[in-house]
Amino acid sequence: MKKLHELSLKAFAVVVFLTIGANGFAQSDSTSKKTLILTPGYFLINNQTQYIAVQAKTKIDRKFQPVGNLPVSVYLDGTEPKNLLSKVLTNSSGVAKLPIPVAFQSVWKSSVSHTITAIVDANKDFDETKAEAKMTRSKITLDTLEGRNISVMVTLLNEKQEWIPVKGVEMKLGIHRLNSLLPINAEVASYTTDSLGQVNAEFKRDSMPGDIKGEIVVAAVVEDNETLGNLTLEKAIPWGKYVKPENNFDRRTLYATRHKTPVWLLFIAYSIIISVWGVILFLLNSVYGIRKIGMA
């Protein structure tokens, strides 16, 4: 009986060891892989250009870092092979972009809402990761009103194929400057559409330098909206200040050719050269004078 008790204890110990050991190994195997975060998104630019972008990132040293060169499979409305839009690689910023392929245009138009799915297969760094984003086909318009006012309207397509206004859409209105958006009104960071799907904003940027026609590009940007995705509408409006481009070509500058030396430099340089060489000539003449006196 005692022997049986000892045997059962040993067997229990072996089972516990194997269980813990196996779990331990399994765990160490899974902890060696990092967690991948995928963020798919739908982008519509000027109601014309549309594309899907998937952002891939992971946490390294408590900081989010982009994951580059990662193959991502992007599906539309399901994850069957027939729904595969394309398999794309992320760039150095961890972003993989793809347009909606022409072959999927009929599928795209057949429904007002779609689901975009991004899947990364398991590899040595990450487990299989999947993420989804839903979107509804929408449209954004921008008009200028009297008195330097801007009106923006956001609409979406319903099942009856009607464009209906969308309430409560947050957006930014700004001018494109140095790859960022300069708000059209410094006091308002963002705007929200009313029950008519509209935003009315006052343009409060005076004397903004524009292009050679005095035009500036105003943009309405909706970012990461759960229903609409990312919408951008840009419009050139003539509210900028005409700036005559400065062209230093063929002018007298320090970096011009020798024939275009600045006058002030010519004046200073030649004044010094003439003064000093004048003195030298005078001294050479003195040698001649000394010689003449000696020969007399």
Partner 1 sequence: MENNQLTQQTVQDLLPQRFGKKGMIWTGILILLSAFGAFAYFLQLRDGLVVTSMRDYVSWGIYISNFVFFVAISLVGSLITAVFRLVDVHWSTPLTRIAEIIAVSAIVFASIIIVVDMGRPDRFYNLLLYGRLQSPIIWDVIVISTYFIISLLLLYFPLLPDIKFLLNAKNSATKKWNGFYRAIGSFWKDKPEQIRISNRAISILCITIIPVAFSIHTVTSWLFATTYRPGWDSTNFGAYFISGAFLVGSGAVLVAMYVFRSAYHLEKYITEQHFDKMSRIVVLLALLYAYFNINEYLVPAFKMKKPEEAHLTELFTGEFAPLFWFAILAGMAVPIMILLFKLGRKPLPAFIAGVMVVVGAWFKRYLIVTPTLLHPFLPMHDVPKNYLHYFPSWQEWAIAIGSLAGALLVITFFARIFPIIPIQETLIEQHEKAA
Q: Which is nearer to partner 1, 13 or 266 (CB)?
A: 266
Residue 218 burial class via C-beta count within 10 angstroms: exposed 0-12, middle 13-18, buried 19 and up: buried
Q: Which residue lies nearer to partner 1 by CB, 249 or 255? A: 255
**261 sits near partner 1 (criterion: CB under 8 A):** yes
Q: Is 262 in the site for partner 1 (CB under 8 A)?
A: yes
Should residue 60 be labelled a site residue for partner 1 when binding is judged by CB under 8 A? no
Subset of residues 195 to 254 that bind partner 1, contact rule: CB under 8 A: 254
Q: Report the alpha-carbon distance of residue 116 to residue 34 in Å, rounded.
A: 24
Interaction of residue 265 with partner 1, rule CB under 8 A = yes
Under the binding rule (CB under 8 A), the answer on residue 291 touching partner 1 is yes
Residue 263, interface with partner 1 (CB under 8 A)? no
Dihedral angle sign, alpha carbons of residues 176, 179, 181, 182:
negative
What are the residues whose beta carbons fall under 8 Å from the beta carbon of 242, sequence distance 6 or more?
Answer: 210, 212, 213, 214
CB nearer to partner 1: give 13 or 269: 269
Give me the least distance between CB of 69 and partner 1, in Å please: 20
Q: Which of 87, 54, 55, 94 minimizes the C-alpha distance to 73?
A: 87
Q: Which is closer to partner 1, CB of 17 or CB of 288?
A: 288
d(CA 169, CA 182): 20
Which range binds partner 1 by CB under 8 A, 32-40, 67-75, 107-115, 284-292? 284-292
Stretch that binds partner 1, among 28-36, 49-57, 121-129, 261-269 (CB under 8 A): 261-269
Q: Is 274 in the site for partner 1 (CB under 8 A)?
A: no
- Does 141 sit near partner 1 (CB under 8 A)? no
Q: 234 or 250: whose CB is closer to partner 1?
A: 250
* Candidate segments 66-74, 203-211, 243-251, 277-285, binder of partner 1 by CB under 8 A: 277-285
**Total binding residues for partner 1 by CB under 8 A?**
26
The least distance separating partner 1 from the CB of residue 253, rounded to whole angstroms, comes to: 8
Q: Which of 109, 269, 271, 274 binds partner 1 (CB under 8 A)?
A: 269
Q: Is 178 in the site for partner 1 (CB under 8 A)?
A: no
- Strands 229-237 and 36-45, by their bridges, are parallel
Q: Which stretch binds partner 1 (CB under 8 A): 2-10, 89-97, 232-240, 269-277?
A: 269-277
Which residues in this chain contact partner 1 in the complex, by CB under 8 A? 254-258, 261-262, 265-266, 269, 273, 276-277, 279-280, 282-284, 286-287, 289-291, 293-295
